[in-house]
C-alpha cells in the first residue's frame, strides 16, 4: 500500500538524523531523544510557578502518538511539518496534569488536569525514597528489634494498593520488608505481619501496624549469584558461538530495522517497552512492501495473586500502568540475555524530575539460528529419482526484559521470512512468597493459597495475563475479523461411506461483542482479513491468529480486581481503532476503578467489519509454584503467532536462497 513504499523514502531521510529537535527530519514514531526529554522538562517546568516547583514530578514523558490518519497522511506527504511530539504526565500540587507539547515550536499545545479516579505510573525516585522511610521509623525499628533481626539487612519494596471499593484520596504504596541476611534474594525472606502505608506526596508513613510474628525463612540456598554457589555445581555448558562471516542479515537505520523481506520501526516507551510499528513485508511477486502491523506492543500485564488474607489480598498488580515496563527495563547482558551475534540498542526515559535516564542495552536484536527447518520435502514416490529439498529456518528476534521487583519478563518479537510474527513471553526471576510456620506439608490443614517450596516458605498462587495491543493493517487499514468455525456435518443420505466430516462455516464479526472469544470452547480459525483485496483464486488477504495455551481470569466478575482487569475475561478482543484506547487497564491504573478498560470501551459494541481494527490478545498463565521455581525460576514461556493466511499467492519462502556453508580455518580452542 501507499505508505509502505513512501515509508522507505522516509526511512532513508531519517538515517542521518542528527538534530533530534528538528523533528521533521525524524520519523514521527521515534521515541523522544534525550534532548527532547530535556526540552520537555524545561517547557513543563517553566509553565509552573518556580516557587514551589519542588512538588512537580514527571510520571510519563514520551511520544504523543499522532492520531493514525494524521500519521498516515504525513507519511504520504512527509514534507509537511509533523504532528507535535511530546506527551508529559506530571503531578503538581497533588494534581495530575497532561501536557501535549510541540517541541519544534517549544510550545505547550494543551495542559489538561485529570480529575478522575486513578493515578499515573509511580516514579522510581519516590518509591526508592519511600522504601527508606521504615529504616528511620521508630515503630518499625522496634518491630525489627522485637524479631531479633538485623536492621542493616532490611530492604523494603513498594507495592501498589489497588482498589477494593473504597477510594483513598491520596497516592500511597504499601511496603513489604525483607531480611536479606547474607543473600541478595530478598523476595524469599519476607518479614510477615508488618503493614506499612506510605503517602508518596507527603513522603511519610501514614499507616503502620505490626500484627503478628512469623519467622523469616532460612536464607540458605537462596542466593543466585554464581560467585556465591558452593559445590556440587550444576552441569557445565560447552562454549558455543554463532559465526556469521557475512555479518548479520539486518540493518538498523535510526529506529528502522530491515531484515530479509521485513521492514519495521522499533521504539522504546517508558510505559510498555518495545513498540513495533509499520511492520511491512516485501512481496517479491507484487514487487512492493505490504503492511501487516501498524503498531504492536504489550498494553497491560494483570497479575492477580490468589491469597485473600489481610496481608496479601491487595496483590493484584498492573505492571505496565503502575510500574512501567520501560521504567523497569533491565540492561541486557551480552552472551547471557542475548547471543553473541546480537546487536544492542539503548533507551531513554524521563526520571521523576524529568531529566533523561539512559538504559544501556535495553533492546537486543539478533538472527536466531535454532536449527529448525523452514520447509522441506523428500520425494519417495517417483521411480528412480531421489529428491530432497530443505531450507534451514532463520528468524529475527527483538528482545527486552522488564523486571518488576521479583519477576523478570522476557519480551520477544520474532519475525520469520515466511511472514509469521511470533510474540513470545518468558517468565523468570523470583517468586513472591510468604513466610509460614510450616516446615512440612503434612502440617498444613488449611488452604495456604500456595505451595510449600521450602521450610517456612509458601510460593503464592497467581496469574500472569499479558495483554497485547495489535493494530493490524493487513495490506491496508480497513480489515475484518473472521471466525472460520469448524462444524461437524452429519451424512444422512448414504451419499458416501462416511457418517461425518467437518467443514468451515465462516462468520464475520460485525461488532465488538461478536469478537470476544474465550479460547478452547469451540474449534475455529481466527483470521484478520482485508475484505477489499483478494488473491487470484479469490481469497481475502489475511493473517491468522494462532493462539498458544489458553488461560483466562478465574475471578468473579464483580470482584474489584477483576473489575479493573475485566479484559482478562476473554483471550481475544477486537475494537475499532481509537487513539485514546491504548491501555487495556486504563491510562491511570494505580488505584483505578476500572472505568477506563478495554472491557468498558467495547461495551459500546461498535462496528468492526471492514474498519480500521485493533486486535487484542491475552496471554494467560495460571501459576502454581513448584520447588523448581526456587530460588530463581527457569524460564516459563508462552506466546502466540500471527501467520499469513492467503496473504501471499503462495509460500513466501519457496524461493529463499539457502546460505552457503561456513568454512573457517582452525582456531585456538582455548583462548
Strand partners, 373: 392
Instruction: Assess 351 for contact with a copy of itself (CB under 8 A).
Output: no
Residue pair 518/526 in contact by the 8 Å Cβ criterion? no
442 versus 580: smaller Cβ distance to a copy of itself: 442
- Quick one: which of 169, 441, 494, 580 contacts a copy of itself (CB under 8 A)? 441
Instruction: Assess 151 for contact with a copy of itself (CB under 8 A).
Output: no
Angle (nearest 5°) at CA 219 between 213 and 225: 145
- Give me the least distance between CB of 261 and a copy of itself, in Å please: 5
CA distance 527 to 515: 11
Three cell numbers at 427?
517468565
407 counts as catalytic: yes
Query: Would you state the torsion angle of the CA atoms of residues 545, 551, 552, 554, taken in this order, to the nearest 10 degrees?
Result: 170
- Give me the least distance between CB of 71 and a copy of itself, in Å please: 28
Instruction: Assess 237 for contact with a copy of itself (CB under 8 A).
Output: yes
Q: Name, in order, each residue with C-beta under 8 angstroms of 600's C-beta and a sequence gap of 6 or more.
A: 566, 594
Q: Which of residues 247-266 bind a copy of itself (CB under 8 A)?
A: 247-249, 260-261
For CA atoms 362, 62, 60, 561, give the dihedral sign. Answer: negative
Instruction: Assess 330 for contact with a copy of itself (CB under 8 A).
Output: yes
18 versus 521: smaller Cβ distance to a copy of itself: 521
- Give me the least distance between CB of 632 and a copy of itself, in Å please: 5
The footprint of a copy of itself on this chain (CB under 8 A) covers a number of residues equal to: 196
- Quick one: which of 308, 603, 605, 607 contacts a copy of itself (CB under 8 A)? 308
Q: Which of residues 494-513 bind a copy of itself (CB under 8 A)?
A: 495-504
- Give me the least distance between CB of 543 and a copy of itself, in Å please: 10
CA distance 408 to 245: 34
In this chain, which stretch among 13-21, 30-38, 452-460, 586-594 interacts with a copy of itself, using CB under 8 A? 452-460
CA distance 486 to 503: 6
CA distance 373 to 392: 5
77 versus 377: smaller Cβ distance to a copy of itself: 377
Residue in 30, 64, 319, 463 annotated catalytic: 319
Three cell numbers at 635?
524460564
CA distance 453 to 407: 17
Q: Which of residues 4-63 bind a copy of itself (CB under 8 A)?
A: none
In this chain, which stretch among 51-59, 107-115, 292-300, 339-347 interacts with a copy of itself, using CB under 8 A? 339-347
Q: Name, in order, each residue with C-beta under 8 angstroms of 236's C-beta and a sequence gap of 6 or more.
A: none
Three cell numbers at 359?
538504559
Q: Which of residues 375-394 bind a copy of itself (CB under 8 A)?
A: 375-383, 385, 387-394
Q: Name, in order, each residue with C-beta under 8 angstroms of 592's C-beta and a sequence gap of 6 or more.
A: 117, 118, 163, 318, 321, 564, 585, 586
CA atoms in the 13 A half-sphere facing the CB of 538: 0
Q: Name, in order, each residue with C-beta under 8 angstroms of 298's C-beta and a sequence gap of 6 or more.
A: 272, 273, 320, 325, 411, 466, 467, 468, 469
Q: Which of residues 542-571 bind a copy of itself (CB under 8 A)?
A: 542, 544, 546-551, 554-556, 558-562
87 versus 529: smaller Cβ distance to a copy of itself: 529
In this chain, which stretch among 24-32, 60-68, 349-357, 412-420 interacts with a copy of itself, using CB under 8 A? 412-420
Residue in 407, 560, 577, 588 annotated catalytic: 407
Measure the N-to-C terminal CA separation of the chain; round to a whole number of Å. 52
Instruction: Assess 234 for contact with a copy of itself (CB under 8 A).
Output: yes
Q: Which of residues 600-629 bind a copy of itself (CB under 8 A)?
A: 622, 624, 626-629
- Give me the least distance between CB of 520 and a copy of itself, in Å please: 3
- Quick one: which of 61, 71, 257, 401 contacts a copy of itself (CB under 8 A)? 401
Tell the residue number behind the cell numbers 513472591, with chain if given: 432
- Quick one: which of 132, 211, 437, 513 contacts a copy of itself (CB under 8 A)? 132
- Give me the least distance between CB of 653 and a copy of itself, in Å please: 6
478 versus 525: smaller Cβ distance to a copy of itself: 525
Three cell numbers at 521?
470452547
DSSP 320: I
- Give me the least distance between CB of 415 and a copy of itself, in Å please: 11
In this chain, which stretch among 61-69, 233-241, 577-585, 604-612 interacts with a copy of itself, using CB under 8 A? 233-241
In this chain, which stretch among 8-16, 70-78, 509-517, 660-668 interacts with a copy of itself, using CB under 8 A? 660-668
| CA 121 remoteness from chain centre | 15
- Quick one: which of 56, 75, 186, 642 contacts a copy of itself (CB under 8 A)? 186
Query: Would you state the torsion angle of the CA atoms of residues 396, 7, 643, 518, taken in this order, to the nearest 10 degrees?
Result: 110
Closest of 625, 229, 212, 634 to residue 454, by C-alpha: 625
2 versus 444: smaller Cβ distance to a copy of itself: 444
In this chain, which stretch among 50-58, 72-80, 333-341, 572-580 interacts with a copy of itself, using CB under 8 A? 333-341
Instruction: Please tell me whether residue 401 adopts helix, strand or coil conformation.
Output: strand
Tell the residue number behind the cell numbers 509502505, with chain if given: 4
- Cite the beta strand spans of 473-510 per DSSP E: 478-490, 500-508
3 versus 630: smaller Cβ distance to a copy of itself: 630
**Catalytic residue positions?**
319, 407
Amino acid at each position: 500500500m501507499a505508505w509502505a513504499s513512501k515509508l522507505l523514502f522516509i526511512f532513508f531521510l531519517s538515517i542521518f538524523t542528527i538534530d533530534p529537535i528538528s523533528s521533521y527530519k525524524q520519523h514521527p514514531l521515534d521515541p523522544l531523544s534525550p534532548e527532547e526529554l530535556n526540552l520537555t522538562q524545561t517547557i513543563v517546568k517553566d509553565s509552573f510557578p518556580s516557587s514551589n516547583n519542588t512538588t512537580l514530578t514527571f510520571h510519563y514523558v514520551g511520544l504523543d502518538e499522532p492520531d493514525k490518519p494524521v500519521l498516515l497522511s504525513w507519511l504520504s506527504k512527509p514534507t509537511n511539518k509533523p504532528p507535535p511530539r511530546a506527551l508529559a504526565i506530571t503531578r503538581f500540587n497533588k494534581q495530575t496534569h497532561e501536557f501535549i507539547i510541540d517541541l519544534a515550536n517549544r510550545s505547550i499545545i494543551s495542559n489538561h488536569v485529570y480529575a478522575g479516579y486513578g493515578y499515573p505510573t509511580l516514579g522510581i525516585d519516590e518509591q526508592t525514597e519511600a522504601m527508606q522511610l521504615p529504616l528511620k521509623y521508630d515503630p518499625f525499628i522496634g518491630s525489627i528489634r522485637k524479631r531479633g533481626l538485623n536492621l542493616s539487612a532490611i530492604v523494603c519494596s513498594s507495592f501498589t494498593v489497588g482498589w477494593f471499593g473504597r477510594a483513598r484520596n491520596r497516592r500511597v504504596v504499601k511496603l513489604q520488608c525483607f531480611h536479606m541476611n547474607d543473600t541478595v534474594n530478598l523476595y524469599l525472606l519476607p518479614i510477615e505481619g508488618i503493614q506499612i502505608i506510605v503517602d508518596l506526596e507527603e513522603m511519610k508513613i501514614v499507616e503502620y501496624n505490626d500484627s503478628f510474628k512469623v519467622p523469616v525463612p532460612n536464607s540458605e540456598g537462596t542466593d543466585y549469584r554464581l560467585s556465591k554457589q558452593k559445590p556440587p555445581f550444576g552441569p557445565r555448558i560447552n562454549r558455543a558461538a554463532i559465526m556469521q562471516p557475512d555479518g548479520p542479515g539486518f540493518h538498523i537505520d535510526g529506529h528502522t530495522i530491515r531484515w530479509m523481506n521485513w521492514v519495521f520501526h522499533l521504539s522504546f516507551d517508558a510505559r510498555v517497552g518495545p513498540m513495533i510499528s509499520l511492520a511491512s513485508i516485501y512481496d517479491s511477486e507484487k514487487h512492493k512492501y505490504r503492511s501487516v502491523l501498524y503498531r504492536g506492543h504489550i498494553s497491560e500485564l494483570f497479575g492477580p495473586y490468589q491469597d485473600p488474607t489481610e496481608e496479601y489480598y491487595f496483590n493484584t498488580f498492573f505492571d505496565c500502568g503502575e510500574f512501567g515496563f520501560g521504567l523497569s527495563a533491565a540492561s541486557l547482558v551480552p552472551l547471557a540475555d542475548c547471543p553473541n551475534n546480537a546487536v544492542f540498542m539503548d533507551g531513554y526515559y524521563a526520571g521523576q524530575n524529568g531529566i533523561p535516564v539512559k538504559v544501556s542495552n535495553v533492546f537486543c536484536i539478533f538472527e536466531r539460528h535454532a536449527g529448525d527447518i523452514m520447509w522441506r520435502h523428500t520425494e519417495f514416490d517417483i521411480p528412480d529419482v531421489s529428491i530432497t529439498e530443505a531450507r534451514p529456518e532463520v528468524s529475527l528476534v527483538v528482545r527486552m526484559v522488564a523486571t518488576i521487583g521479583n519477576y523478570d519478563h522476557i519480551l520477544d518479537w520474532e519475525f520469520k521470512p515466511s511472514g509469521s510474527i511470533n510474540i513470545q513471553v518468558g517468565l523468570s526471576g523470583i517468586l513472591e512468597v510468604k513466610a509460614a510456620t510450616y516446615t512440612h506439608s503434612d502440617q498444613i490443614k488449611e488452604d495456604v493459597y500456595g505451595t510449600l517450596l521450602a521450610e517456612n516458605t509458601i510460593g503464592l498462587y497467581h496469574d500472569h495475563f499479558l495483554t497485547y495491543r495489535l493494530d493490524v493493517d493487513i495490506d491496508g487499514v480497513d480489515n475484518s475479523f473472521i471466525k472460520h468455525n469448524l462444524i461437524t456435518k452429519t451424512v444422512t443420505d448414504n451419499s458416501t461411506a462416511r457418517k461425518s466430516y467437518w467443514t468451515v462455516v465462516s462468520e464475520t464479526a460485525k461488532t465488538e461483542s461478536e469478537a470476544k472469544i474465550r479460547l478452547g470452547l469451540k474449534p475455529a480459525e481466527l483470521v484478520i482479513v482485508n475484505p477489499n483485496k483478494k488473491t487470484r483464486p479469490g481469497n481475502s488477504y489475511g493473517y491468522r491468529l494462532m493462539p498458544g495455551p489458553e488461560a483466562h481470569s478465574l475471578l468473579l466478575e464483580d470482584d474489584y480486581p477483576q473489575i479493573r482487569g475485566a479484559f482478562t475475561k476473554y483471550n481475544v478482543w477486537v475494537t475499532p481503532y481509537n487513539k485514546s484506547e491504548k491501555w487495556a487497564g486504563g491510562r491511570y491504573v494505580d488505584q483505578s476503578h476500572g472505568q477506563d478498560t478495554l472491557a468498558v470501551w467495547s461495551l459500546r459494541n461498535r462496528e468492526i467489519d471492514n474498519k480500521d481494527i485493533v486486535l487484542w490478545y491475552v496471554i494467560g498463565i495460571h501459576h502454581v509454584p513448584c520447588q523448581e521455581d526456587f530460588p530463581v525460576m527457569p524460564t516459563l514461556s508462552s506466546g502466540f503467532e500471527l501467520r499469513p493466511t492467503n496473504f501471499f499467492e503462495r509460500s513466501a519462502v519457496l524461493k529463499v536462497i539457502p546460505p552457503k556453508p561456513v568454512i573457517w580455518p582452525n582456531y585456538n580452542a582455548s583462548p
